[in-house]
Amino acid sequence: MQIIYGKESTRINLTPATKELSWSSSRGQIAQNCDIQVLNAPPIESAGFLMLFSGDLLKESQQFFHGPIVRFERDDKSGDTSATAYELSWYLQKNETSRIKLNGDAGKELERLIRATGINFSCPAFGFEVKDRLASQSFASLFTTLTEQAYDKTGKRYFVQHERDKLTVLPEGGNSVVPMFAASLLESSSTGESIEEVYTVVTAERYKDDRVAASVTKENANLIKQIGRMKKVIDAGEEKGLDALASKQLANLSKIPKTRPITVKHEDNQAARLRAGWLIKILEKDNVTITDWIVTSCNARWKGGQYTMDLQLERRG
């Protein structure tokens, strides 16, 4: 691990003086945040950049965090400093759009608008059209609005993968490197279920002039008897196939997900990049069964060459 502070042309290696280092991400959060405590720290400035490398070399392929320090406190007696940094996409919530017109696939429109700000941003097509004029809002809010619509209409969730100053939107589970952990080596693990985001009734509506022009409702009668009536209303926008949309989303939303909080310790530099939205695999205790899980939150720490990660996992099936 190498921990580097940079401001303009200045580069300072904070690794030897770092007392504590942690970083975290969660579903729906665009930028990871990183907290660091440095003993007798050199001068640190706001908007100076914190850079984390999983290996001993300062290679871009090994960098897994890159972003500005947004706040810090320096102890007047000891000189020790505590600081918090966010990934580069933090700037998406600090800049707002003017009133904007959307006309095209939601994902490609999101890409067009954010790329126009000068950020290296790529996004896949979301598979549904938007034709709307939106009020002024932060680019982060726009990302959240359109990805929530994508989940409502397609059942897919998305996250932002950071590679230095390049931001790429990926569907959950779209990571190219898939870590696998052995259940027998986990520090802790428990399994359960959650119905917090489960719905047993889905209504798809299409509007015209602020009035409902068409509506279709689908129900899972058996599940209503088991866990109760929980209704989700989807604005279909330009979508014409309301029956298919309601049926598809009911199938997605009525699946009760398995949950699994785990704590894992490892020294895998590739897995240091792990964040919310990633797919991971677990080799179960029978050493035969391999299960797939989506990370919904990750709280990671580094000390003495070892990563400790508290992960919240989810799988539907």
- The residues spanned by each domain of the chain are 2-86, 92-171, 180-192+257-315, 201-253
CA gyration radius, the chain: 22
Report how far residue 239's alpha carbon sits from residue 246's, in angstroms, rounded to the nearest whole number: 11
Is 255 in a helix, a strand, or coil? coil
Question: Cβ(106)–Cβ(126) under 8 Å?
Answer: yes
Token reading at 118:
């000068």
Question: Cβ(54)–Cβ(61) under 8 Å?
Answer: no
Residue 309 has pLDDT above 90, yes or no: yes
Report how far residue 213's alpha carbon sits from residue 24's, in angstroms, rounded to the nearest whole number: 44
Report how far residue 125's alpha carbon sits from residue 240's, in angstroms, rounded to the nearest whole number: 18
Residue 304 gets which letter from DSSP? T
Q: How confident is the model at residue 317 (pLDDT cuts 50, 70, 90)?
A: low
The mean predicted confidence, pLDDT, of the chain is: 94
Type and span of the H or E element at 246: helix 242-253
Residue 239 has pLDDT above 90, yes or no: no
Alpha-carbon separation of residue 134 from 98, 153, 263, 274 (angstroms): 9, 19, 42, 34
> Tell me: domain 2-86, CATH 2.40.10, correct?
yes
Instruction: Give me the pLDDT at residue 178, please.
Output: 96
* Residue type present at position 180: M
Find the range with the poorest average confidence among 88-92, 204-208, 295-299, 311-315. Answer: 204-208
Instruction: Give me the pLDDT at residue 314, please.
Output: 97
Instruction: Give me the pLDDT at residue 56, please.
Output: 85
pTM: 0.91
Report how far residue 114's alpha carbon sits from residue 128's, in angstroms, rounded to the nearest whole number: 19
pLDDT tens digits for range 105-139:
999 999 999 999 889 999 999 999 999 888 999 99
* Residue type present at position 283: L
pLDDT tens digits for range 41-80:
888 999 999 999 998 888 888 899 999 999 999 999 999 9
**Best CATH choice for the domain 180-192+257-315 from the list 2.60.40.10, 3.40.50.300, 3.90.1820.10, 2.30.300.10:** 2.30.300.10
Report how far residue 293's alpha carbon sits from residue 314's, in angstroms, rounded to the nearest whole number: 6
The class that CATH gives domain 92-171 is alpha beta
Percent of the chain with pLDDT over 90: 83
- Measured distance between the N- and C-terminal CA atoms of the chain, rounded to whole angstroms: 37
